[in-house]
Amino acid sequence: MRAITLDSPETAPRLRDDLPDLTPAGDHVVVRVHASSVNPVDNSIAAGMLASIGLEYEYPVVLGRDYAGVVEHVGEAVSKYKTGDQVFGFLLHANPHVRDGAWAERITLNEEISIAPVPDGVDLVTAGAAPLAGITALALVDALDLSDGDVVLIAGATGGVGSLAVQLAARAGARVVAPGLAEDEAFLSDLGVSAVIPRDGDVAAAVRERYSDGVDALLDLVNFTPGTYEAALKDGARVASSTGAAGEGPGRSNVMANPTPENLHRLGELLAEGSLRVPIQRTYNLQQAPEALAALPAEHTQGKLAIQVN
């Protein structure tokens, strides 16, 4: 079986073609993966960073979180899925060790977590790029409790999570302001951003020039500590972050995505009805996945970098 693996702490990710094939047991299914995408956590895993927080790497580690594909085999206790079903989801970064990933021809999954049916009308490329970023965006916008007329600052709006969060915030009735480059203006406006401000320079001051009272909410996807945009906030503004930048206290939420079937079903419904779309900037094949890993932090992205597995 082919997969992109990390074989030791000293090696770079590479394509291997000698991994054993998988067989389902009990309540597990084997999924032939067709599509995936790149997320920042993939680079963290590849760099060995999860070891610094006490997680054990069990080599070879297969990289990749997101997946969409087709069920090929089912265990004898499986009741919810059958061969031929199209499914999607994302794998936890450790369960309990850092080992399993989605950049492989096949993966094995418990039918109770990290898996849901791909809704009718949603293609596998979209389903494979959506799970981790989409569920993260849903959790962040839920935490902000946006309502009609709220002004929300979204830092990192051009990225995978940000491009989805913009759509969700606008759908909730909020006016979205986002830092960006000149080349981002059309992209962000098309997603639902009301005002694009220069991301270079004093973002908080630029926000205050446009909204003198400050913003009602902040979604920070860029920073790892709180405070960068504090001067742009109204008193009592809500803040949410997936990178630890929300801080602590009332209205401050640091969130993580959870690949429950309920969350995946909710995401799937939004994709199927067209309320949420996944911008895909570029697609790489499985062999090129290490190039995609390098491109994510090195290049200015608009949306997602997708991986075609099969």
DSSP 270-310: HHHHTS----EEEEEEGGGHHHHHHHHHHS--SSEEEEE--
User: So what's the pLDDT on residue 73?
Assistant: 96
Which of 68, 79, 77 lies closest to 118 in space, CA to CA? Answer: 68
User: So what's the pLDDT on residue 25?
Assistant: 87
User: So what's the pLDDT on residue 246?
Assistant: 97
Longest Cα pair distance anywhere in the chain, in angstroms?
Answer: 63
C-alpha distances (whole Å) from 123 to each of 107, 126, 127, 275, 310 are 19, 6, 6, 15, 14
For the stretch 69-123, pLDDT in tens is 999 999 999 999 999 999 999 999 998 999 999 999 999 999 999 999 999 999 9
H-run or E-run covering 180: strand 175-180
134 CB-near residues (< 8 Å, 6+ apart): 164, 267, 270, 271, 276, 278
Query: Torsion over CA of 198, 204, 209 and 215, rounded to 10 degrees?
Result: 110
H-run or E-run covering 178: strand 175-180
How is residue 142 written in tokens?
């839920």
Distance in angstroms (rounded) separating the CA atoms of residues 94 and 251: 29
Query: CB neighbours (10 Å) of residue 37?
Result: 32
How is residue 114 written in tokens?
């990290």
User: So what's the pLDDT on residue 205?
Assistant: 97
DSSP labels, 36-105 = EE--HHHHHHHTTGGGGGTPPB-SSEEP--EEEEEEEEE-TT--S--TT-EEEEE--S-SSSB---SSBS
User: So what's the pLDDT on residue 251?
Assistant: 96
User: So what's the pLDDT on residue 57?
Assistant: 97
User: So what's the pLDDT on residue 95?
Assistant: 87
DSSP SS3 for 129: helix
Give pLDDT < 50 ranges for the chain: none
